[in-house]
Chains A and B, each alone.
Chain A
Amino acid sequence: MTAHLSGTPVLETERLVLRAPAMRDWPRWLAFTRDDRSRFIRGGEPMEDGKSWRAFAHVAGMWALRGYGSFIFCLKGRDEALGMTGPWHPADWPERELGWTVWTAEAEGKGYAFEAARRARDFAYRELGWDTAVSYIDPENARSVALAERLGARLDPDAAVPHPDEPTLVYRHPVPEGLG
Chain B
Amino acid sequence: MTAAWEIAPEGRAAEIAAGLAAGVPEIETERLRLRAPRIGDFAAYAEILCSDRAVHIGGPFSREDAFLDFAQGVAGWLLRGHGLWSVETRGDGTLVGFLPLHVEAGDPERELGYLFRAAAEGKGYAHEAARAAREFAYGRLGWRTVVSYVARDNTRSIATAERLGAKPDPAARHPLDPDLIVFRHPAPRRPLL
Contacts and interface: CB of A to CB of B under 8 A. Distances in A.
B138 interface: no
B12 A128 contact: yes
B140 to A, nearest CB: 11
A60 interface: yes
A165 B168 CA distance: 46
Interface string A68-93: 10000000000000000000011111
Interface centre among A23, A59, A66, A127 (most CB of B within 10 A): A66
A128 B13 contact: yes
A65 B105 contact: no
Interface majority SS (helix, strand, loop, mixed), chain A: loop
A128 B11 contact: yes
A67 B15 contact: yes
* Interface size band for A: 35 or more
A90 B12 contact: no
A65 B5 contact: no
Contacts of A89: 4-5
B75 interface: yes
B55 interface: no
A64 B75 contact: yes
A61 B3 CA distance: 18
Contacts of A9: 16
A51 B104 CA distance: 10
A57 B79 contact: yes
Contacts of A58: 67-69, 71-72, 75
B81 interface: yes
Given A3-B78, A5-B77, A67-B9, A61 B17 contact: no
A68 B16 contact: yes
Interface string B91-116: 00000000000001110000000000
Given A4-B23, A7-B20, A53-B105, A129 B79 contact: no
B39 A65 contact: yes
Interface string B21-43: 11110000000000011110010
Nearest to B82: A4
Contacts of B76: 57
A12 B161 CA distance: 48
B17 A64 contact: yes
B11 to A, nearest CB: 5
Given A57-B72, A89-B4, A91-B63, A64 B77 contact: yes
Given A23-B80, A64-B17, A49 B105 contact: yes
A92 B67 CA distance: 9
B71 A22 contact: no
6 contacts: A7-B16, A61-B71, A61-B73, A63-B75, A67-B18, A91-B67
B40 to A, nearest CB: 9
